[in-house]
Amino acid sequence: MDVAEHQHFAWLARSFGRTDYLPLAPEDLAALSTAGEYVDKYPGTHLFKEGSDATAAYVVQRGQVELYRTRAGGRRVVARVGEGATIGDIAMFQGQPYISSARAIGHVTAFRLDRSRLLPVLMEHPRIAMRWLVASLAQLEATQRRVLRLMHRTVREQVAEMLLEESDSYGEVHLSQSSLATLLGASRQSVNEALSELRRAGVAETGYRVMRVTDRDALAALAGREVV
C-alpha cells in the first residue's frame, strides 16, 4: 500500500463514526473505496441540486458546502458543513429526490459514493454499515442538541448562539440575515432587531451577507453559555 492509499484509507476510517468503535479492517476500507471516487468542485458549483434523483452521497474531505432550499422568496440557506460531513445519504437510502441543494463555498474535495455500488458493500460488510449508522446517529444527536440549546431562549440569545456556531477562525459568519432568520425559524425583523442589540453591545458587526463576531466571550455570555 503506497502513502497516498494509506492516507485515503485513514481518512475514510475517520469519516465514518468513532474510530474506536468497530475498527474497519483493510478489506472493509478497500471495499468502501470501490463504491466511489473523489470529485473536485469549484466555488459556486453544485454537488447536487434540490429535486434531482439522489443517486449518491458525499463525504466532504476539504472545504465547506452550503445546503440551501429554493422558495418563492429566493434561496434559503439551511446549513453549512465542512470536513468529515456526510451529505445526501438520507435521500439516497430512501430513493427520494434531494430535499436541498449542495453548493461549494470555495474549493471543495469530496468522496462521492454511488448508491448502486455502495449498497452491495454495506450488505457484505456489516462493520461499515454499523459505522455509517453510528455516524448518522451522531449527526442526528448534534442536531437535536442544537435544537434543545435554542429552545425557550429569546431571539437575541438564539442569534448569539448561531453566530458562535457559524463563525470561522476569523470570527466571520458568511450567512445573510435572511438565511439566519430561516435557520432559526424567526422573523427577519426580530433577527434584525437582535443583531442591532448585539452590535450596540459591541460583540458583533454586521454587513451585506457577512457578519463578524468581535467579542466571543461576551457573545457567549449573552447566549447563555461558556466558550469551550
**Pick the residue with more confidence: 177 or 94?**
94
Residue 208 has what pLDDT?
Answer: 67
| Segment 111-138 mean pLDDT | 89
φ, ψ at 81 (rounded to 5°): -130, 160
Residue 124 has what pLDDT?
Answer: 93
Residue 9 has what pLDDT?
Answer: 64
| Per-residue pLDDT tens digits for 9-42 | 666 666 665 555 667 788 888 888 889 999 999 9
**Pick the residue with more confidence: 20 or 120?**
120
| Per-residue pLDDT tens digits for 167-189 | 888 888 877 787 788 778 788 89
Instruction: Return all residues near 205 (Cβ < 8 A) that are at least 6 apart.
Output: 199, 211, 212, 214
Domains and CATH numbers, the chain: 3-148 (2.60.120.10), 152-223 (1.10.10.10)
pLDDT cut 70: percent of the chain above it: 86
User: Quick check: 74 pLDDT over 50?
Assistant: yes
Residue 222 has what pLDDT?
Answer: 86
**Pick the residue with more confidence: 180 or 1?**
180
Residue 154 has what pLDDT?
Answer: 87
- Closest-CA residue to 108 (of 181, 47, 178, 177): 47
Separation CA 128–CA 126 (nearest Å): 5
User: Quick check: 104 pLDDT over 90?
Assistant: yes
User: Quick check: 97 pLDDT over 80?
Assistant: yes
Residue 52 has what pLDDT?
Answer: 96
Separation CA 220–CA 226 (nearest Å): 6
Please answer whether residues 36 and 122 qualify as being in contact, where contact means their C-beta atoms are separated by less than 8 angstroms: no
Residue 188 has what pLDDT?
Answer: 85
| Segment 75-97 mean pLDDT | 87
Secondary structure (3-state) at 108: strand
Residue 227 has what pLDDT?
Answer: 47
- Closest-CA residue to 79 (of 65, 91, 89, 92): 65
Residue 5 has what pLDDT?
Answer: 62
